[in-house]
Each structure stands twice: as C-alpha cells, then as structure tokens.
Amino acid sequence: MQERLAFARAAYDAVALYDPKRTAVELDLTDNTNLWGIPPTAERTLREMPVAAVTRYPTLYAAELKAELALLHGVSADMIVTGCGSDDILDSAMRAFGEPGELVAGSEPSFAMIPIFAQMNALRWRGISERSTTAAQHTGHQPDIDALLATTPKILYLCSPNNPTGALIARASIERAIAHARGVVFIDEAYAEFAGVSSIDLVARSERVLIIRTMSKAYGLAGLRLGYAIGQPSLVMEVEKSRGPYKLNAMAERVALSALRYDSEWVAEHVALAVTLRERLAGALRAMGLAPMPSAANFVCVPVAQCVAVGQAMRTRGVAVRPFPALPHVGDALRISVGPWPLMERMLSALAPALREVNG
C-alpha cells in the first residue's frame, strides 16, 4: 500500500485503478464487445480518415452526431449529450448532479465501474443486493427497488439489461423507481440493442431520468470511445457542462456518423445473430449440465463453482472469460461474451476440460 501524498485529495485514498485482470490470450470473451468486428462503412471511413481529423480540433459538443442520434431515437438533438465512451457520460453525470458526500445507490451485482466513478467524484456509494431469485423467479434477477429508494440517493443507478447477470429490469420497476426518486435516475442501456426494448420513451414523462447508451457493444466501436445519453434538455445541459468541450475525438465522430447513417442494417443483422447464438450457447451449456441465467444481452452468465480456478484453467487453454466470484443469490459464475459460433465452440472445448480439472 502506497503512502498518500500530503497534497493528494483524501477522497482518492480508496480509489484503485481499474483492473479487470485482462492479459493477452488467443480468444478473449471477457468484455462483451462486438466479436464480428466493425460495420463496413464505419471501417471505410476509418481507413480513409483525412489528416485534418487529427491536426485540427474536433467539434465542441459533437452537434452533427447529436443530430444523427436524435434521428435514430426519435428525440430532439438538445436531448442528447455525447461522451468519450458511456463511461465518460456516467462520470460527468455523477459530477453534474452529485455534491461531494452525496449518495449514489445501485443494485448489486452490477457494472463494476459505478462505485469507482462515485469515488472519483467524492460521492458515497451504496450497493443493495438484488431480490432473491426465489422471490423473482418469473422475471429473473431483479433490483430491490424499494430498498434502493429507501436510501434516498441523489443518484440511482439501474442497468438494463444488467451487467453481469444479463437480466432485463421489469418495466414496472423502472417506472416505479422514476416515479418515487428524489434525485436523478440513471438507466444504463449499454446492451439495450440486444434486448430490443428501451426506456427512452420514459424521458418524455420525467425530467429525472437519464438513459445512457454506448457504441462500444452492438456497434463494434469500443476502441473509439463513443457514448451518449438521452434526457430532457435541462438535464442533458447539466451533463454537457460537466463533460466540457472537445471530449469526443474527431475520428470517433466521423466513424460514428458513418455507422449511424449507412450501417444500421449490418448492426441489426449482427444483433439478431448475437441473440440467436446466445440462445444456442445457453442450450450447449445446459447440455453440459450447467444452468445459464436468462440473458437479454450479448453475453451469458453461468453459475460455475470455483469460477476463478475454472477461468484460470480455461486461460491456460487459450480462452478468457470473466469470473464473478460469490454473486449474491448466485454464487460463483462465469460471464461469457457471445460471438461467431466457431468461437463459441472453441470456448466450450476449453470449458469442458477446465470444469473436469477443477470441479472433478
């Protein structure tokens, strides 16, 4: 443990650098990015990038991209804010709405970055275990909305479909959270394309809700760092102020515009493929005697005892999946990104011997 610098911020004592333990491996199924690659027009735009995209500053607040995203979602451009990945949106929005010391609450398990962003903004984090599966058998793993609301957080974070479980949050729960929230409700929809449902329409009804989306997953552009959020203009304006100018780089904006204008068919096709293969993968896991959790995203979460050791044993066979030890109401589990079927077969052929090796 390093000694704190005398002049460092006290709130940063507990902040650790993010470390998902990612190392080079032949087949990486740990981050739920698009394993089919980049959409074709987006790729062409990237390859033909004019030098001016690098030598000159990007646009201030990505107005052209906001207009295109507004078209896609049927909202006005002043209801959209873009960012350097949705991570940047989450960070900026926490800074915009949370005074230091105020509370961010969210269901557990969920996106691992949220407590880190709370800490980075000197906010307090409170994780509330999701309701037990027995109480929520029909809807899968669901957040405990009453317990979350009872903490009266300044920021309530919900993720649907949820990372890492894959569970879609029931519409009624989201509506109730928004109706009773005293602060702002963030709904992280990083995987909404794969679920085919969204809460974007709720934005029209409430000035408290911010929907957060990304082009890192369905659009295959994780390395360019493109995120955005949708909310009422007054809400979005505060995030824009907190985000600051020039945050979206010029190459990212140009590639994103191409993808949105010309690649929607490619994206839809590959989303559909991911959904089909997700169910096929779940079937293959069941055939091995495992019980994968229902998923609305482009990954499958499957309970596996000794998940860290199993993950290690798979890694020695050239395949990386993400272990989640001791998830509430689940226990140890592996989260596996869905991609082209040959990759899934390769993964299964590493999982089977790894399970035998570790769990007998």
Give the Cα separation of 147 and 130 in Å (integer).
Answer: 9
Question: What angle (nearest 5°) sits at the alpha carbon of residue 343, between those of residues 342 and 349?
Answer: 90
Give the Cα separation of 72 and 67 in Å (integer).
Answer: 9
Residue 37 is encoded by which pair of tokens?
């690659």
Q: How far is CA 82 from CA 110, 266, 315, in A?
A: 23, 23, 36
Residue 30 is encoded by which pair of tokens?
């740990």
Q: Choose the stretch contacting ligand PLP; rule: CB under 6 A; options: 80-88, 129-137, 244-252, 318-326.
A: 80-88
Rama region for 218: left / alpha / beta (φ>0; ψ in -120 to 50; rest): alpha
Closest CA to 162 of 301, 321, 330, 338: 301
Interface residue with ligand PLP among 41, 173, 216, 232 (CB under 6 A) is 216
Q: How many residues bind ligand PLP (CB under 6 A)?
A: 12
Q: Choose the stretch contacting ligand PLP; rule: CB under 6 A; options: 55-63, 119-127, 214-222, 352-360.
A: 214-222
When asked if residue 228 is in the footprint of ligand PLP (CB under 6 A), the reply is no
Contact 205/175 with Cβ under 8 angstroms?
Answer: no
Q: Choose the stretch contacting ligand PLP; rule: CB under 6 A; options: 1-9, 82-90, 130-138, 253-261.
A: 82-90
The continuous run of DSSP H or E covering 251 comes out as helix 250-262
Interface residue with ligand PLP among 86, 121, 160, 298 (CB under 6 A) is 86
Rounded least distance, CB 85 to ligand PLP, Å: 3
111/266 with CB nearer ligand PLP: 111
| Contact code string over 34-73 relative to ligand PLP, x by CB under 6 A | ----------------------------------------
When asked if residue 159 is in the footprint of ligand PLP (CB under 6 A), the reply is yes
| Contact code string over 165-204 relative to ligand PLP, x by CB under 6 A | -----------------------x-x--------------
Residue nearest to ligand PLP (CB): 85
212/284 with CB nearer ligand PLP: 212
When asked if residue 111 is in the footprint of ligand PLP (CB under 6 A), the reply is yes
The neighbour count for residue 96, using CB atoms within 10 Å, is 21
Phi then psi for residue 290, to 5 deg, are -95, 170
Listed in order, strand segments (DSSP E) in 189-320 are 209-214, 226-230, 299-303, 319-320
When asked if residue 98 is in the footprint of ligand PLP (CB under 6 A), the reply is no
Rounded least distance, CB 349 to ligand PLP, Å: 26
Three-class DSSP category at 80: strand
Q: Choose the stretch contacting ligand PLP; rule: CB under 6 A; options: 42-50, 83-91, 95-103, 308-316.
A: 83-91
CA atoms within 13 A on the CB side of 91: 16
By the criterion CB under 6 A, which residues form the site for ligand PLP? 85-87, 111, 159, 163, 188, 190, 214, 216, 222, 227
